[in-house]
């Protein structure tokens, strides 16, 4: 945890300043981060500690921390605490790459938690899947971690005809991307990127507040035989950025 007590917090917050209280709290936190007093990965004081030390309402403290999280300065993990954010993780916008490889190339550890892997009937409102897959699809939901921080929820539907052994894979030791690239090599892909708020379940899995903006990639991939998979990839906005390059 960032080394600071309530008396020290109060002293840091003191002085003449006409700005709104929540902005002064934001300035206090960002100053401690900028000067290196609170380093990447340090846990910040709790909302309760800020309230007790600064004599402000919990609503004021919460607003300051929510805005700092949205700006990428801190990371809030429900039930765990609030931490100084690291440099945002970059993912390629125009490539379809294995997330495990990206994380390992950054010198960090990748692991996966499997939420579900099963066969399901395709819903009536998923017409594009019914046209390509028929009446049923394989459905997987995974959470990808960089070290111990969840950075992506992968919600994927797969064509059983293209990857008949999909349900038998151990996705704690391989990824859907790696497996599918071997059994149904990619010839075409489609990305749609949106800024969204995650669902209640996605926020729970990512350990973020419901108000935190997320980056959503809707990705469809085709092999020579047709559509292989359709995935919804949800990333906390404070922990990720997308990069792309192009030329004439």
The structural domains of the chain, with segments of one domain joined by +, span 6-84, 89-243
Q: How far apart are CA 40 and CA 88, in angstroms?
A: 11
Residues sharing a CB contact under 8 Å with residue 3, sequence separation 6 or more, in sequence order: none
Which CATH class, in words, describes the domain spanning 6-84? mainly alpha
> Encoding tokens for residue 49?
């500690």
Q: How far apart are CA 50 and CA 5, in angstroms?
A: 10
The distance of Cα 202 from the centroid of its chain, to the nearest Å, equals 9
pLDDT recorded at residue 67: 87
89-243 topology per CATH: Chorismate lyase (3.40.1410)
pLDDT recorded at residue 232: 94
| Binned average pLDDT, 10 residues per bin, the chain of 248 residues | 66 73 90 86 88 91 88 80 72 62 86 96 83 90 93 95 95 94 87 89 92 90 90 84 51
pLDDT recorded at residue 94: 45
pLDDT recorded at residue 92: 47
Q: Interior CA angle at 155 toward 152 and 157, to 5°?
A: 150
pLDDT recorded at residue 79: 74
pLDDT recorded at residue 174: 93
6-84 and 89-243: same fold?
no
Residues sharing a CB contact under 8 Å with residue 192, sequence separation 6 or more, in sequence order: 217, 218, 219
pLDDT recorded at residue 183: 93
Going by their DSSP bridges, the two strands 188-197 and 213-223 should be labelled as: antiparallel
pLDDT recorded at residue 76: 81
């Amino acid at each position: 945890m960032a080394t600071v007590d309530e008396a020290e917090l109060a002293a840091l917050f003191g002085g003449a300043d006409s700005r709104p209280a929540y902005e002064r709290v934001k300035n206090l936190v960002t100053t401690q981060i900028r000067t290196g007093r609170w380093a990447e990965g340090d846990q910040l004081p709790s909302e309760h500690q800020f309230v007790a030390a600064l004599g402000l309402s919990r609503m004021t403290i919460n607003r300051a921390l929510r805005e700092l999280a949205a700006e990428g300065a801190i990371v809030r993990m429900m039930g765990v605490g609030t931490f100084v954010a690291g440099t945002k993780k970059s993912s390629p916008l125009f490539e379809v790459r294995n997330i495990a490889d990206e994380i390992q190339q950054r010198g960090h550890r990748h692991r996966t938690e499997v939420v579900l892997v099963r066969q399901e009937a395709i819903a009536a409102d998923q017409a594009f899947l019914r046209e390509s897959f028929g009446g049923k699809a394989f459905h997987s939901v995974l959470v990808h971690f960089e070290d111990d921080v969840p950075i992506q929820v992968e919600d994927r539907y797969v064509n059983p005809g293209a990857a008949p052994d999909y349900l038998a894979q151990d996705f704690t030791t391989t990824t859907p991307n790696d497996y599918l690239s071997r059994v149904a090599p990619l010839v075409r892909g489609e990305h749609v990127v949106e800024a969204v708020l995650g669902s209640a379940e996605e926020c729970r899995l990512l350990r973020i507040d419901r108000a935190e903006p997320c980056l959503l990639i809707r990705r469809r991939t085709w092999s020579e035989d047709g559509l292989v998979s359709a995935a919804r990839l949800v990333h906390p906005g404070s922990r990720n950025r997308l990069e792309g390059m192009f030329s004439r």
